[in-house]
Amino acid sequence: MMRTRTVNTAISAMIFFAGMLSCTKIPEYSDGRVSLDEVFSSYRKTAGYLNLCYTKIQPQGGFYAGNSFLASFSDEAAHVSEINNSVHRQWWQGLLTPFYNPVETNTSSNTNWWAGHFEGIRYCNVFLANIDTAMVAGESIRQGYKAQARLLRAFYYLQLIKRYGGVPVYTAPLPVDYDYSSEQRPPFSAVAQFIIDECNDVLENVPNEAMGWIQGDTDFQRGMFYKAVAAAMKSQAALFAASPLWNDGTITWQDAARYTKEALDRCLENGFKLYDAAPGTTDGYDAFDIYFRTRADVNRVRDRETIYEVNRQLNIYSYNGLPFTDGIVSSGDNPVQELIDAFETIDGKPILDLTRPYLDANHLQPNYNSENTLYNPAAPFENRDPRLRASFYHHGARFDLRNASSFVWMHAGGNAAISENDLRHTRTGYYLRKFGNFTSSRTGNNDGYFKLYRLAELYLNFAEAANEAAAGGLAPGDAVDALNIVRARAGMPAIEAGIDKETFRLRIRNERRVELAYEEHRFFDVRRWKILDETDRVVTGMRPIAEPDGTFTYERFVIDHSRAAVTDKYLIFPLPGNEVAKLQELTGSNWQNPGW
């Protein structure tokens, strides 16, 4: 007789959220399928089920629609495929609905933030419900497995609330006859506090021999969660919960300053530091440059900055390439002028007035910073923050550093000229360099891997939270110091102590824009700050024009599309419409986000 075990495959609201409204029988079959009883009575299968918990980490980095970055759904970039009415254009046309999300439209990567993350939570809860009696090789391994599953569950919840707001938190599979009629939607802060508490418990109470501060010593351990990931998630959850979009007084800026400082300090105490390896002169410009195309070493001997790296190599040369790159499919996520304008000059002064960067609605009239004497509109790429040349190709930039005559030219007739009808050419006058390697081509990919969490973010998280928590009119010294550590690695001058809190807020936001460009922060930053309508309405490019005497002039121009996804309702994604209907029927309440 075939033995079966009935297992509830959904937890609380996930029964609706993932569309799983019934229990599932998991029998043993001759083709290899097994019951949960058998899974957790085997060392190997217990470990295999933990691996299953990792499988719902959704695409990050350059793996959205058309192998693009989230940057093209923010004010960082304009994707070249918009000329063909791509999902990026649909996003900016305001076609997001409770039944269609253009950002998730990527059949090759199967992006599904809602159902995918809830499925991951379900896997974690099933694992945690069984691990205490599961067959493992030792108690230390059991503790480590439990800690990984808890952090994965916290990670999935963090991804959900960043996009949708508060969702019910459940820490165990629920009975089939669970009564959902009294369910209420919790606030963002409640879920954020759950994430912080889970991370704190792992950080403080899980022995280092069960879960340490590095992933391990072998490539087999790549992609595993470990204590530094807990610190990074704690920092980010606290920062978001205290930010204007989500701040309900439960997690204050003072709380966020404490949490982010604790997370940063724990990482520093355990050997993390900003990447500072100097490259050879023909390999890269500086440490910041080569960091993003250098794969992290698992044991953190060489790279002590990366906290979590997506274990999938990017294809910058192909999907964010230049027209002359062998193997190019698309120029991809073309950086916009507004992002380029954020890079200061080498004396540490912004080129624009950060309180009002542009004098007109179309951003064609820059409001230049009167204190900046180094910026020259006739030579706009000279004397700029070194992170500019490391992150993006501009007109006249070096391409192959091994070749003294290898340059990128964007003017009409140049080898990378602006075009409005060729997917291989930029629409904005810029190309992505960050994560890419000029040696990559169809014969060999040497591009980098996406850094989901890294130490620089923790410095910037703390700087922001500490500044906002300050009671006086001046920015706190430790907040300024944290920001300056990030700037120093980039070769940028320190911001002097005594800066006022309001001005420092603008400098922090600009620093995040520059340091964390294309790293999936800007999309969420402008939302949690509630400035989406100020930042994303229009983006521009820069056209170099060759003059008869061999010099160039530069002309700003508006990218030819309308950005409608900027009103307050776009601060938060809508919950899927079919799930909201089920929730309304079962609870009598409307769970949909405002405006949808």
> Domain for residue 372, yes or no?
yes
Token pair belonging to 484: 């300056």
Q: Would you say residue 349 lies in a domain? A: yes
- Quick one: pLDDT at residue 177? 84
Q: Residue 27: its pLDDT value, please?
A: 38
- Interval 322-379: pLDDT, tens: 999 999 999 999 999 999 999 999 999 999 999 999 999 999 999 999 999 999 999 9
Q: Is the pLDDT of residue 189 over 80?
A: yes
- DSSP alpha helix (H) spans, 516-551: 522-528, 532-535
- Ranges 20-29, 37-46, 229-238, 482-491: which has the least confidence: 20-29
Would the pLDDT of 176 be above 90?
no
Bridge-based pairing of strands 431-432 and 540-546 is unpaired
Least confident range of 10-19, 62-71, 254-263: 10-19
Domain span at residue 381? 315-439+531-562
Does some domain include residue 430? yes
Q: What is the mean pLDDT of residues 410-429?
A: 97
Q: Where are the beta strands (DSSP E) in 262-325?
A: 306-313
pLDDT mean over 156-180: 91
| 12 found inside a domain | no
Rounded to whole angstroms, how far apart are CA atoms 307 and 93?
A: 36
Q: What is the pLDDT of residue 59?
A: 82
107 by Cβ neighbours in 10 Å (0-12 / 13-18 / 19+) ranks as: exposed
Count structural domains, the chain: 1
The residues with which 432 forms a beta bridge, in sequence order, are 392
User: What tokens appear for 433 in the block?
Assistant: 């360099």
Compute how many other C-beta atoms are within 10 angstroms of the C-beta atom of residue 12: 22
pLDDT at residue 564 above 70?
Answer: yes
- Mean pLDDT for the chain overall: 92
User: 297 lies in a domain?
Assistant: no
| CA 509 remoteness from chain centre | 16
Quick one: pLDDT at residue 35?
87
Assess whether pLDDT exceeds 80 at residue 106. no
Domain assignment present for 145: no
For residue 448, the cross-strand partners are: none
Closest Cα partner for 374 from 493, 462, 470? 493
Does the pLDDT of residue 3 top 60, yes or no? Answer: no
Q: What are the C-alpha distances in Å from 382 to residues 298, 385, 408, 507, 549?
A: 38, 9, 15, 21, 20
Confidence class of residue 24 from pLDDT cuts 50, 70 and 90?
very low
Of residues 104, 67, 86, the one with CA closest to residue 332: 67
pLDDT of residue 322: 98
- Residue appearing with tokens 């900046």: 372
CA distance 554 to 126: 59
Q: How far apart are CA 91 and CA 102, in angstroms?
A: 6
Q: Which candidate, 365, 399, 428, 487, places its Cα nearest to that of 76?
A: 428
Quote the pLDDT of residue 33. 65
**Higher local confidence (pLDDT), 576 or 178:** 576
Tokens of 62: 């350059």
Q: What is the pTM of this model?
A: 0.94
Stretch 263-282: mean pLDDT: 97
State the amino acid at position 253 in one-letter form.
W
pLDDT bracket for residue 13 (50, 70, 90): very low
**What is the rounded distance in angstroms from the CA atom of residue 132 to the CA atom of residue 68?**
42
CA–CA separation, 330 vs 84, rounded Å? 12
Q: Which residues pair with 557 in a beta bridge?
A: 541
pLDDT in tens, 201-210: 999 999 999 9
Q: Is residue 200 part of a domain?
A: no
Residue 490 lies inside a defined structural domain of this protein: no
How far apart CA 145 and CA 141 sit, in angstroms, is: 6
Provide the pLDDT for residue 32.
56
**Mean pLDDT on 285-312:** 96
